[in-house]
Structure 1
């Protein structure tokens, strides 16, 4: 299945955001799950504001602390991150898989991800008020400790698509594709959108939220009484460019798939994502209260309500300093991917 052009998706309903963010850093930091640890247990690829560091104080408004973002909407200083995908060569070395921009984006995005904020669907909020996240809010979805398919299926909105081309959709799987994909692998992360209305975080970073999503961009079920507040449906799409490794001669001699998450997982079960809210002021609420759609939410378009920046401005945003200095691009990892990185490797 392929998506229709965006013009056919837009209706007369409610706001939906879809925008690209360039990579701001690739390193072992996780201020949500492992605050203060440098390094954290495994490597992450991160997009968004430049306030990202080993510890991000929950009492601080990130939208005020960060002074730039790698996202096209300049008021979004949030951070979004997932684990990193690697190719394991026959000689045991690893190479980081690159990322490329999604379809229908401007030229210039460097790596990164596609970020979505939707409501009930692309054209409706189900006649509900959509409440924007608050400063200090954070959440995760998925788990780096999952070891079975049954556990992975408990997160029905975390899947993969083997891409025939950049517009391929559907044919989602809970496991990494077992054969070369012509245009790479898309990793998909949909977060829960029902909030308990009280807690900006929880000990497991998930219990303050409840998921009623059915996967994909299908209309979600109503929120339960325990989590009655409908918030935006946040989703990530990461386009992993596995095409440089599609030569069967590079794959393991037994034919097994050679891609591995930075968690050490070769099945795909540990796919997970973190979200740390950082929109400036009321900008996200302003967007959710509007009827703007995707790129037309930019204030240089009729009806647009969000400030937009140029690709050069987007890509100029950088962290003030790198916290963990190590080779994360081509390396030999010490099992189980939690020790120091030991040297570099080639295919």
Structure 2
């Protein structure tokens, strides 16, 4: 009997994690899709452990010395494509990243990370198995080029916030026009013409029970959720092991571009691989939790902030999160007004 089959006999718990990770680096590296390539094809924003590099050929839980995430035992890396604004004069500027208001103030950009078991209230009475060492996966693809194909990536959506609590409607592509209302910042609400974009990235949670990766970084996993943060259906026989549902939320602060919306009404935002539709939004995950810390969390009954301060996970203050960083391995300018997207 395999270990995961034995684990399934243990009584399930109800834990769910939601935590912030400040920005670790913003650069052209992609150790999953383009391992060893310096630079990779397009710019990513990365959070998590400071062992992040072009190859990721070592266990990050052993190689990292700090993490930008709330939990100090989490040296995983999480990354997504960066976003740029295109001016009518043809120049580009990177859109800054903001923290979620559900998190402590002062987090430097980054993302909100979720590990849920079925939804925010239950694990569906299933044993949840933590990811094994060396595990990695992706969701979505930058080569997706139609809205119909984008709709099939259930866990990848855009939301144009109208107020602090807005999470719907969820769109498979960029909003077709400027959003009305205010923009949520760390400390206050401003009121430009359009506001913050939330990009939601949700990964499959059914594992085949044997492979820590697959050639396309996706086939070892299977999705049974109709949409992000919703109850998942049973895992199929081909992928029988229920793992945590990993999701990211990235908040893009569009305030500084409020008076620059193109006169013809066209969308001015581009993901870093030259996509102004949003069809190819994607995300990457590389597991790096220390020892059995994630399994302890999944076996507990804690929810969100109640999982911090050793109950059961060790946590750190925002200042320590923001202090952790890695130097860029690529010598290029990605800030200010640029004549072209980096790498394009």
Are the counterparts in 1 of residues 46 and 80 from structure 2 also a CA contact under 8 Å? yes
Q: Can you give the 5+ residue segments of structure 2 that lack an aligned partner in the other structure? A: 1-11, 184-195
Counterpart position of 2:150: 152
Q: Can you give the 5+ residue segments of structure 1 that lack an aligned partner in the other structure? A: 1-11, 340-347
Aligned equivalents of 2:339, 2:145: Cα separation in 1: 20
Q: Does 1:309 align with 2:309?
A: no
Alignment of 1:85-164 (within 5 A): 85-164=83-162
Are the counterparts in 2 of residues 102 and 166 from structure 1 also a CA contact under 8 Å? no
Are the counterparts in 2 of residues 93 and 330 from structure 1 also a CA contact under 8 Å? no
Counterpart position of 2:213: 201
Alignment root-mean-square deviation, CA: 1.4
Counterpart position of 2:276: 266
SS in 2 for 1:270: coil
Counterpart position of 2:6: none
SS in 2 for 1:117: strand
Choose which of 208, 212, 228 in structure 2 pairs with 1:216.
228
Aligned equivalents of 1:192, 1:273: Cα separation in 2: 12
Aligned equivalents of 2:62, 2:81: Cα separation in 1: 27
Aligned equivalents of 2:64, 2:163: Cα separation in 1: 36
Residue 84 (structure 1) shift? 0.5
Residue 179 (structure 1) shift? 2.2
Choose which of 273, 278, 281 in structure 1 pairs with 2:291.
281
Aligned equivalents of 1:153, 1:271: Cα separation in 2: 11
SS in 2 for 1:150: helix
Are the counterparts in 2 of residues 178 and 257 from structure 1 also a CA contact under 8 Å? yes
Aligned equivalents of 1:166, 1:95: Cα separation in 2: 25
- Count of aligned pairs between the two proteins: 319
Residue 125 (structure 1) shift? 1.2
Choose which of 253, 259, 264 in structure 1 pairs with 2:263.
253
Residue 104 (structure 1) shift? 2.1
The alignment's TM-score, normalised by the length of structure 2, stands at 0.90
After superposition, what is the alpha-carbon deviation per residue over 1:286-338, rounded to whole angstroms, capped at 9, x for unaligned? 000000000110026xxx2000101111111111x320011112343547x63
SS in 2 for 1:64: helix
Residue 159 (structure 1) shift? 0.4
The alignment's TM-score, normalised by the length of structure 1, stands at 0.89
Residue 197 (structure 1) shift? 0.5
Residue 281 (structure 1) shift? 0.6
Residue 166 (structure 1) shift? 2.6
